[in-house]
Amino acid sequence: MREIRFRAWDKEHKAMEYIDDLYWFEEAGVHDFGGQGHYSEYVLQQFTGLYDSKQNPIYEGDIVRYKERNLEKAFNLTSGGDDFIKKTKEIWFYGQSFNVPEGFVKDLEVIGNCFEHPHLLEASES
């Protein structure tokens, strides 16, 4: 079972806060993290349960850099190019899982997050 933990981006103070305890109140919209009530100034992000190659936890909203195996070269479909292609990606939750790169990947590293380092996504290949 994966560890459940969260962090929150404070929109007002432009700072990331790591959450030790998460409380759910039913009064006056305090429970609503989606844009209503007390927590409307926060964006809640969940821990994926995975770590990068330096053992840093990976959260939703993180920007990761990694090298992905060039399968065209590996299967001799092309003669040129590098064995691994450098890529950058924002991590998010979709359906039932996170889009953390897996498989033919190496050197996966968290290099920032989408709130504090959006410029890192501008040159993204994926």
Q: What is the pLDDT of residues 76-122, one digit of tens each?
A: 777 778 888 999 999 998 878 888 988 889 999 999 999 999 999 88
pLDDT higher than threshold 80 for residue 123? no
What is the pLDDT, as a whole number, of residue 67?
93
Gap between the Cα atoms of 5 and 54, Å rounded: 19
Neighbours of 89 (CB within 10 A): 19
Q: What is the pLDDT of residues 55-81, one digit of tens each?
A: 999 999 999 999 998 888 878 777 778
pLDDT higher than threshold 80 for residue 30? no
Q: Which amino acid is at 43?
A: V
Neighbours of 33 (CB within 10 A): 17
Average pLDDT, whole number, for the chain? 82
pTM of the model: 0.78
